[in-house]
Each structure stands twice: as structure tokens, then as C-alpha cells.
Structure 1
């Protein structure tokens, strides 16, 4: 039986040659010295101390050597890696000190200067844009109607032709108010402003032309485009001889007033229990006006280069809703629409994250000022 190969020369492994280890170490030290900011230093750290760095790969080769050769190779690679780590730490401290000194200069504040003890206030843009939307329809002859935020299930679901087995009535989608002795109270935080339609039809003389702004609640997680508490503006018309053509005219007038003239609108067939027929309303992008469609050099962030923006839902009031409110469907007909206020705000002003709207940072609201 042959004896172990104790005379194996480690320099035969290219990555473990003294000159190669020194070269990898010097290359790492040079990259560290040339890093001009912390971001560059982070890239250098990953490149020269990460699992796929040259010295880390060389260190893996040591295990393939015979026992008598491992000690020297390990010391050589270990010393190089220690030197690189120390250089990284030293450069990290230098760059952090430079950053802190620069911040002190660039963000310095003269605390001796006089300042206004009563900073200028700002209205929340949700309030402002809700009033703007409402004013558009008031100018058309509508009245403003309001309703409670805690609604009976009959107003929120049953009268609107939302059946008991509809998914929106589950606890995963709606916030229910608990009753005594763990019994259901029959009350829910309204999931839309549509109960305002029912209350208006029950409380007002026909014909009815109302717009219903308000806060609504749904069991959604707060993220960039969703929030459990949001705002809607609902519109309702019930009169003799009302058709979908009247609805189209009102939507066109709203879009012109809010976003500018000569913007086209379109209706896409949809389904809502309280309207039949129903449609989703799109308007032409008010930024690119459709010019970005199919043109990669003219990408539009507002409409994602689709040329259209969805603004809400609408349709002819379902006769079952009118019957629930005691309206003679042989004589009267109507239409309704619903607009999301947060969606309108995000489109009109380029707001990209719902957190900015709901977290109460005064720097966000101050950008909108005191517009009324």
C-alpha cells in the first residue's frame, strides 16, 4: 500500500499560490480605496468578501489539500481575508464620517432666525377634491345628500338587490357591528355610499337628483393602492323618461370640468346588483391623451400607456331597487354612478402611494394648500 502524499506542493493549486493570493488581496484593497461613497463600498464588500468572491473561492480549495499542506495555505488566505476585512472597516468609518460632516453642512439650520409660530395650515386634499366633485354636480342641479356611516344591513345590502349569499356580505369583506350577547346587531359599517340612494328615495319627493359624498369601509389591507377606509361620491337620478344617454352626458360633463376639455369617455359592460345594465366608466388619459399607446418612447406613468383611465362604475337603476323604495317603475326610471375620491386624487395629482393620503403627514397636505 502506498504512503500518503505528504509531499504535495500547495502551489500547484493556482488559486493558492502566494502571488495569486497577494494579487486578489491587492485588487480588493484597491477597490476599497477607490470607493467614493457607502453605496459603492457595499458593492465592493459583496464582490470581495461575499461567498463568490475570489478569496472565498480560494479558501474552499484548502480542503482539497493534504493535511501537511493545509496549514500554510490557510494562514496565507486567512491573512489576506483579514487584511481586506480591516480595510473595509476602516473605509466604512471614513465614509460615514464624511457623510455625517456633509449632512451637518447641507442641513444646517440657523436656530437664531425668527420663525412663524403659527405655520400656515392646509386642508386635506380628500376634502378639497370631494367638494370639487360635488360642486360639479350641484352646478347641474343636483342636491347633496348624506347618510350615517353605521348602516342597517337592509339599506346597505337588501334594498340594493345584494342577495344574502353575495360574497360582499361576508365578514371577510365587511365590518359588522356586534350586538348584545354575541348576537348580530344587523348593523354594518357602510361598504359604499349607495345606501344614500335608498334613503334619498324614501325621504324625498320624486323626481330625485342627488349626489352623496362620504366615507366607506371595507376589510382591505392598507397598501399602495388599497385602504380599509376610503371615500366615494355617489350620484342618483330618478325621474320620468330617464335613459342611459342622460347618464353619458352627465359623466362627460363631469370629466370635462374635472380634467379638461375634449377628453373622450367610454363605457365597458360590467355587473352591479343595483344597476341593470351596468358599465365601468373609462376616460381618455388626460396626460398623454392616448398618444403613448404602442409607443415605447412615450411611456405614460398615469395610464401605464394604455390610453384610458378607469374612474368608476355606473348604470341604469335596477327596477328591484326602485320597487324596494316604493317607486312606480312603470312611470319612473333612473341611473346611478359611483366614483372613488382617492382614485381621482391619485390620477389628478400623481399620488403613487395610498400611505401618503392616510398617514397624516402635514408635508403631504401642505403641498395642496388651502384651496377651497
Structure 2
């Protein structure tokens, strides 16, 4: 039996040839040096130093060599892989420095700017709407008057010619404070402010009275037990219905745009005589009663805002009843005046296209934010 062959076996695997190993190393180093960012360097690492790279596959072939050739081949492959890893480390360090410098320039944050971590708030539309109406009257030379929401029965009813048997005094229409025989109510309109002003001021009087009022209405899309009114009162010598119409025309044109006119329909209120319901021309269809398309042309369908009528009811008004003047200590023979009252919430619904009155009172910040911070 012959012994083991200790002579050199010239068998050599092609990937382990020195020229092949050197070419793979040079290709890897060149690809690494050519990488311009960390993503490209990662791709070069996977291609030239990963498990499927040429040098990794060559390293696996060492086992196919005779024992006498393994040491030399292993040394050759190890040195090539070491050179590739060193090139990777050097390029990694350079590209990380460049990346950080680029981030400092491109992602600079000015820490002196106001933070946006807290959401931007918004003023409630009832507040801004009330202030806008007040500004319109102040610009005409009027004053803004205010009064308490818990009011004396005499000022809320008797001074305004609402007799003891008037249905508005019943529990079905008015919130009475306990005990009921003390004659204190949550005001049902802002007219008591007018009565207070007539009792404490000397004509001429020109006041607007915005504020909250309370009635025992059901809470639904068009009614609320708490809502907002603005009432106006003008007392002077020679005041007529013509002054009233001119004032209201100016108010609605300021709120809804130029060219919006008003009309009066006969009505009845205890504190004015003669009295009228005031309508304004629909600010959407401009009185045609027809819907308008995107191109501004009239459509055959009815206007949704005025329901095809061409007019929108806004509120009540009239010449101040002489009995009210006398009850408040004003000479009805010398002075005349006019008064009116409109719902602020109703005007806001028209002005902003709000379909449900409850949206004004439910406190949803998403609703209020849509109106911004109008001043």
C-alpha cells in the first residue's frame, strides 16, 4: 500500500488566481471611492463585501485546494478583503461627516421663531359678529349700551307696553327667577336696556344694544333657549319711519354687501306703533328667487337661501309707541323715535351659510377655528 501524496498538486480554482483576486479588490475599492453618499456606499458594500461578492465566493473555494495551496490562497484572499474593509471604513467616515454638514445647512431650525406646538385659537363668530355690528353703529355716531341679563319684570315688560295679561309673561315663554313673586326674569330681549337708557339719559338718544337673551324655546336647528340680539333705539325731534329705513338699509348693506335693500311689511308689536317686519333682498340671488350656477347665470331651481322668495325676513321694527316714551319719562309730544331688533345668530347664519344654529353653541373648536381670528 502506497502512502499519502505529499508532492505539490498544481490544481488551482480560477477565482483564487492572484490576478482574479487583485481585479476583484481593485473593482471593490474603485466602487467604494466612487460612492458620493451613504446610500451608494451601502450598495457598494453589498456588491463587493457582502456574502455574494466575488471575494466572499472566492474565500469559500479555498477548501477545494490541496492542503499545500490553502495557506497561500487564504493569505491572498484575506489581504484583499482587508483592503476592501479598510476602504469602506475610510469612505464611511468621510461620507458621514459630509452628511452631517449637509444636514446642518439643509435642516437648520430657527429656534427664535414662535413655536407651533400649540394650536392657533380663534375668536367665536358670535363675538366677532357682535363687534362688527357695534362698529357699524359707532361709525354712524351711535353709542353701545349694555344691561344685566337678570332683569326686573317692569323693565322687561311693563315699561315696553307689555301688559300684565300679555302671553309673553307666562312660564311657557319666559324664565322667571325664584321666587316668582319677586318679579325678576332672565331678559327675553335687549329692550330693557333701551328702557334703562331712556330713564337715565336725556334725548337725543342713539343707542345699539347687543347681548344675550333667554326664552323657553326648544333646542333645535333653528331655535335655542339662549341666543343673541341687537336692538337699536333712536329718540330725537322729528324722527320718522324714513330715518328707520335709511338706518337699516345701511346696516344690511354693511353686513351683506352693497345694493342690498329692505322692505317693510305691516306687523304689530306693543312697544312700537306703527310696527313692521323688515325683510332684506336675498344677498345670494339678489331678489330673483333663482339659484345661480358656477358661471353666475340664473338657474331654473329656486334659491336655497331665500327658498325662491327673493327676500329674507330679518326682524321687527317700528316707531316707538308714545306710551313707552311716557313710561320712561320722555315728552312724547316733543320727541319721537324708532326701534328695531334683530337676531345676531340669524344674521350670522345668513352671512356664513351656517345651516344648524346649534353649531354656534356646542363649543366645537373645529367650527370656531374655521372663522379664524378676525378683529
- TM-score class normalised by the smaller sequence: 0.5 to 0.7
Return the alpha-carbon distance in structure 2 between the equivalents of residues 116 and 126 of structure 1. 26
The match for 2:231 is: 234
- TM-score where L is the length of structure 2: 0.66
The match for 1:186 is: 183
The match for 1:278 is: 275
The match for 2:255 is: 258
1:116 Cα deviation from its structure 2 partner: 3.3
1:355 Cα deviation from its structure 2 partner: 1.5
Secondary structure of 1:323's aligned partner: helix
Query: Is the 1:276–1:316 contact (alpha carbons within 8 Å) kept by the matching residues of 2?
Result: yes
Return the alpha-carbon distance in structure 2 between the equivalents of residues 119 and 184 of structure 1. 49
The alignment status of 1:208 with 2:205, answered yes or no, reads yes
The match for 2:347 is: 344
**Structure 1, gaps ≥5 residues long:** 1-114
The match for 1:358 is: 361
The match for 1:177 is: 177
The match for 2:16 is: none
The match for 2:167 is: 167
Return the alpha-carbon distance in structure 1 between the equivalents of residues 202 and 267 of structure 2. 30
Between stretches 131-140 and 222-231, larger displacement belongs to 131-140
Bigger radius of gyration: 2
Query: Is the 1:232–1:340 contact (alpha carbons within 8 Å) kept by the matching residues of 2?
Result: yes
The match for 1:122 is: 122
The match for 2:142 is: 142
Return the alpha-carbon distance in structure 2 between the equivalents of residues 292 and 200 of structure 1. 41
The match for 2:334 is: 331
The match for 1:4 is: none
Secondary structure of 2:198's aligned partner: helix
Query: Is the 1:291–1:298 contact (alpha carbons within 8 Å) kept by the matching residues of 2?
Result: no
1:296 Cα deviation from its structure 2 partner: 6.8
Return the alpha-carbon distance in structure 1 between the equivalents of residues 145 and 260 of structure 2. 29
The match for 1:292 is: 289
CA offsets 1:84-130 (integer angstroms, 9 cap, x no match): xxxxxxxxxxxxxxxxxxxxxxxxxxxxxxx9331101011001111
The match for 1:44 is: none
CA offsets 1:245-296 (integer angstroms, 9 cap, x no match): 1001101111111111112210000111000000011000001112235987
- TM-score where L is the length of structure 1: 0.67
Secondary structure of 1:134's aligned partner: helix
Secondary structure of 2:177's aligned partner: strand
Secondary structure of 1:351's aligned partner: coil
Between stretches 292-301 and 208-217, larger displacement belongs to 292-301
Secondary structure of 1:177's aligned partner: coil
The match for 2:315 is: 312
The match for 1:131 is: 131
1:139 Cα deviation from its structure 2 partner: 0.7
Return the alpha-carbon distance in structure 2 between the equivalents of residues 200 and 306 of structure 1. 38
Q: How many residues align?
A: 255
**Structure 1 segment 38-53 matched on structure 2, within 5 A:** none
Return the alpha-carbon distance in structure 1 between the equivalents of residues 135 and 264 of structure 2. 23
**Structure 1 segment 28-67 matched on structure 2, within 5 A:** none
1:306 Cα deviation from its structure 2 partner: 1.0
Query: Is the 2:290–2:300 contact (alpha carbons within 8 Å) kept by the matching residues of 1?
Result: no
The alignment status of 1:322 with 2:325, answered yes or no, reads yes
1:185 Cα deviation from its structure 2 partner: 1.6
Return the alpha-carbon distance in structure 1 between the equivalents of residues 204 and 289 of structure 2. 43
Q: Aligned-residue CA RMSD in angstroms?
A: 1.4
1:140 Cα deviation from its structure 2 partner: 0.7
**Structure 2, gaps ≥5 residues long:** 1-114, 292-297
